Structure 1
Amino acid sequence: MGHNPLIVPSIRAIICDETGKVLFTKGNGRWGMPAGSIELGESIYETLQREVKEETGLEVVSATLIAIYSGKPMVENSYHDKYQLFEFLFKVDSWEGELLSKTDETTDAEFFAIDARPVARNGFWGEHFTEVFEDYQNYKGTLILK
């Protein structure tokens, strides 16, 4: 496929502790929520389970789909490949296991209060993360489609 623009289905997970703090992981020097792209042969829910496990060590027991984002502009990755965001946002309702602060994909993991969360990134990603948290806080049981 070379450098042709693609549509990449992916997930983003909001995981809260018992006090309502949200889990952030650090990778490539940046804070963000567990996220990643679907692999061949996976369902989107299996992608959620795999990505959360790879980035946090936690096992997703149950989760609720909150939003689907598909109308965003093209994004460019560090390899200068362009893709259109097609993201499924899940709230992880229950999880098991021990949180790992370091994995093959992350260098830190920590729960933060929503209003004291780390600045994830500037530009598009910073705006998207703000939108994600607004949607999470405004979610009333009806799937948000954007």
Structure 2
Amino acid sequence: MSIRWEDSYIGKLRRLVEHHPLIVPSIRAIIQDEQGRVLFLKGEGWKMPAGSIELGESIYDTLKREVKEETGLDVISATLIAIYTSKPIITNRFGDQYQMFEFLFRVDEWSGTLLTETDETTEAKFLHIDERPVDRNGYWGEHFTEIFEDLKSYNGCLILK
């Protein structure tokens, strides 16, 4: 059961600050199958499991909660491979502004049955790392390219950007 956005920490904060820029710690999870394919979820576009921290939650607990909510899978172990904070302020489709503060985890071990449809997604599938699902506008995110380059080059040392 996922938290309604309006009841989330960010949802409540947004009511106070409206569209002003926020720095929001968040996670993104790379989940791979036995063939090394990456799990993508379809909502408004294709994405990997991701989401923001809730008040009182650790970043690792955020990872476990978001993966469970969006995929039905349980994270058993994961490796933090990168932290992204250097991107310019982005504006979402609602006019809300954010500076990225993203923890990128590679999920090393997981269990459970993949749900193809959740409260937040309508489809889930594993794709080869060189396949590029695009959103309804034909767009493949620049950040996804960066994530895959970092995944391929990860050598055990945390990547800070």
Whether 2:53 is the aligned partner of 1:34: answer: no
Confirm or deny that 1:119 pairs with 2:140: no
Q: What is the match of residue 45 of structure 1?
A: 60
The 3-state SS of whatever aligns with 1:116 is coil
* Structure in which a larger fraction of residues adopt strand: 1
Q: CA separation in 2, counterparts of 1:14 and 1:93?
A: 9
Q: Match for residue 143 of structure 1?
A: 158
Consecutive unaligned residues in structure 1, runs of 5 or more: none
Q: CA RMSD in A?
A: 1.2
CA distance in 2, matches of 1:127, 1:139: 18
Alpha-carbon separation, structure 1, partners of 2:56 and 2:124: 28
**Paired position in structure 2 for 1:2:** 18
Within 2, Cα distance between the matches of 1:116 and 1:127? 14
Q: How many residues align?
A: 143
Q: Normalising by structure 1, what TM-score?
A: 0.94
Q: Which runs of 5+ in 2 are unaligned?
A: 1-16
- Please say if 1:132 is aligned against 2:147: yes
Larger radius of gyration: 2
Give distance in 2, aligned partners of 1:104 and 1:41. 23
Identity of aligned residues (%): 69
1:86-125 matched pairs, under 5 angstroms: 86-120=101-135, 122=139
Compute the displacement of 1:132 (Å): 0.4
The one-letter code matched in structure 1 to 2:109 is S
Distance apart, 1:119 and its partner CA: 2.5
Aligned to 1:17: 33
Deviation at 1:58, TM superposition (A): 0.3
Per-residue deviation at 1:117? 3.2
TM-score of the aligned structures, taking structure 2 as reference length: 0.86
Runs (4+) of structure 1 moved beyond 3 Å? none
Counterpart position of 1:67:
82
